[in-house]
Structure 1
Amino acid sequence: MEPVEALVAPAVPADVRFREAEDGDVEQLVALWEACGLTRPWNDPRLDVADARSNPTSAVLVGVGEGGVVASAVVGYDGHRGWVYYLAVSPEAQRGGLGRAAMGAAEGWLRHQGVRKVRLMVRHGNERVLGFYDSLGYTDSECVVLGRDL
């Protein structure tokens, strides 16, 4: 596969490089997700990382700066559409273009896999994040996502 940074369209801050996650990134990644309020007690984030990294149709992308992991996006595709999960930017680095760059890395990875549609989920009430995705051209797909544990 092409290096992730070659797939990123938006300008990435000079000190941040996007790549697929490695074993040594996992604890920083989980800490990032916790700092961004993305984890839930019923989901084991370490298992989510392991599952995504072990599946050939998904990847965990990290933005790495001088201090370590500062951004992330988990991507995958199901043969029909691509999905983005765990898009996160360190609270200290938010509003500096890293969210846009992380989505660029995610979309680039999906495009490289031949994906033509991308979807993501935003929790109810998260208006700030909805505004961010709106600025990137994402719109409400007018569907309800249902779920069940197996």
Structure 2
Amino acid sequence: MTEPSLIREIRDGDEPGLIALWHAAGVSRPWNDPHRDIAFARSGPHATILVAEADGAIVASAMVGEDGHRGWTYYVAVAPGRQKSGLGRAIMQAAEIWLAARGVWKVQLLVRADNAAAVGFYERLGYRDTRTVCLQKVIGPAG
């Protein structure tokens, strides 16, 4: 196993490996179409997907975007065999740098309430529970 290359933005041809990573790391959900999410993140200047590659495979990712007030991260994933290697910390740092370069000073993320390991990871990176409630309404078709 070699060290990952520098973290970079997604490129054409990365999609199959990226989706495979999301499935292996358990961050994808059946009701979210990863192809659609990738295309949407790549469709404008307010979002991107950062990846780390090693041994010809994508081994870490973070979808990052900003809404003009806050930054958000999604699909933060590290290949199961490479977890606890510092890749998660590195991909989150890259996401924060991407946001800061755009003038964004606050980043948020969503973690499922039953995912204590992820909550602990983010807390070690300095993230705090804001004690807010996230509400959602689907306003369009899923596909």
**TM-score greater than 0.5 by the shorter chain:** yes
Q: Which residue of 103, 109, 119 corresponds with 1:130?
A: 119
Question: Equivalences for 1:54-73 in 2 at 5 Å?
Answer: 54-73=43-62
Deviation, 1:16, is 2.7
- Going from structure 1 to structure 2, the CA distance change for 1:14 and 1:37 (only over 3 Å counts) comes to closer
What CA distance in whole angstroms lies between the structure 2 residues aligned with 1:29 and 1:36? 11
Q: Which residue of 68, 90, 102 corresponds with 2:91?
A: 102
Report the count of equivalent residues.
Answer: 138
**RMSD, aligned α-carbons:** 1.1
* Contiguous gaps of at least 5 residues in structure 2: none
Q: Does 1:76 align with 2:62?
A: no
What CA distance in whole angstroms lies between the structure 1 residues aligned with 2:136 and 2:44? 21
The answer on whether the counterparts of 1:16 and 1:66 sit within 8 Å (CA) in structure 2 is: no
Question: Equivalences for 1:14-93 in 2 at 5 Å?
Answer: 14-93=3-82
Deviation, 1:23, is 1.6
| Segments ≥4 residues shifted beyond 6 Å | none
Normalising by structure 1, we get a TM-score of: 0.89
- Listed one character per residue, the Cα deviations across residues 89-122 of structure 1 (whole Å, up to 9, x for unaligned) are 0001000000000001100000011100000000
Q: Which moved more, 1:14-23 or 1:135-144?
A: 14-23
What CA distance in whole angstroms lies between the structure 2 residues aligned with 1:109 and 1:22? 16
Deviation, 1:14, is 4.4
Question: Equivalences for 1:131-150 in 2 at 5 Å?
Answer: 131-150=120-139
The aligned amino acid for 1:60 is I
The answer on whether the counterparts of 2:4 and 2:52 sit within 8 Å (CA) in structure 1 is: no
Normalising by structure 2, we get a TM-score of: 0.93
What CA distance in whole angstroms lies between the structure 2 residues aligned with 1:32 and 1:18? 15
* Contiguous gaps of at least 5 residues in structure 1: 1-12
Q: Percentage identity across aligned positions?
A: 52
Higher relative contact order (CA 8 A, sep 6+): 1
- Higher helix proportion, which one? 1
What CA distance in whole angstroms lies between the structure 2 residues aligned with 1:39 and 1:95? 20
